[in-house]
Amino acid sequence: MVEEILGKKHRGEKIVMLTAYDHPTARIVDEAGIDLLLVGDSLGNVVYGLERTTQVSKEMMLRHVQAVCRAAKKTPVIADMPFDTYQVDRPNAVFHARDFMYAGCAGVKIEWFKQCLTVVDDLRAASIPVMGHIGLTPQTAEAMKVKGRGEEEAKAILSQARALEAAGCFAVVLECVPDGLAAEITQSLNIPTIGIGAGPHCDGQVLVVSDMLGLNDRAPRFVRRYADLGAQTLAAIKNYKADVESGVFPGPEQTFR
């Protein structure tokens, strides 16, 4: 997986990553030929309606990772390490990451925090492929806003990207950073950058699948909606309700004689 992804950067081919949290969605993503499937801890917001991703437990993540891995026949699956498994229980990060690898993942993703380079070192020493995540890091962010607009913050994000590459990450997610900074980081790294709200100059892009399918009421400005499944689902359910109430469903085709 790692060689494939690095090869794409070096050949100038874009990398396409998408989240999935369940078996049917992962099966479709797999069929579409997406490069990387992310079981993001955004599942806390998207699937469980939680306020913060820090409320996502390892047990929750593992159940969804298993369902996704059973469906992903070709696409490598990356799991977000839940906050508790590496920012709180840092000494046991390798033990926790191994459980995601045993479940079928090709690697794990961790967000930047003060001691994250130690975690990357430990994971790499255990031969676990690691994707970094910088810019807006939802597990520790105080506000969901663009990062790296000021010179100091931009410099810090660039040096985090370089440090993650030096520590052995195979790719880095840039979330909500200005396009110029994303371009500079992308040019200065040998590993790919995967952007979300980071403009068009990254080596790849990632979106939350329910945002791009129009299943959530509101989505961030950087999302492009490729479908309106929320409205379609509502219409389908209303049709079903009307058919049952009027006696049209089930019809002869749905009835055993």
Q: Can you give the binding site for ligand KIV, defined by CB under 6 A?
A: 19, 38, 40-42, 80, 133, 173, 196, 206, 208
**Nearer to ligand KIV by C-beta: 18 or 154?**
18
Q: Which residue minimizes CB distance to ligand KIV?
A: 40
Residue 235 DSSP class: H
Give which of 92, 64, 94 is closest to 79, Cα–Cα: 64
The nearest distance, CB 44 to ligand KIV, in angstroms, is 8
The nearest distance, CB 223 to ligand KIV, in angstroms, is 10
- In the chain the first and final C-alpha atoms are separated, in Å, by 52
Strand partners, 207: 18
Please confirm, yes or no, whether 175 is among the known catalytic residues: yes
Q: Where is 193: in which H helix or E strand?
A: strand 193-196
83: helix, strand or coil: helix
Residue bearing tokens 């810090």: 156
**Nearer to ligand KIV by C-beta: 11 or 224?**
224
Catalytic residue among 51, 175, 245, 253: 175
**Nearer to ligand KIV by C-beta: 103 or 173?**
173
Tokens of 72: 């992903």
Task: Please enumerate, as own/partner, the contacts of 28-32 that have beta carbons within 8 Å and a separation of 24 or more.
Answer: 29/72, 29/75, 29/209, 30/71, 30/72, 30/73, 30/74, 30/75
**Nearer to ligand KIV by C-beta: 46 or 117?**
46
The catalytic residues are 175
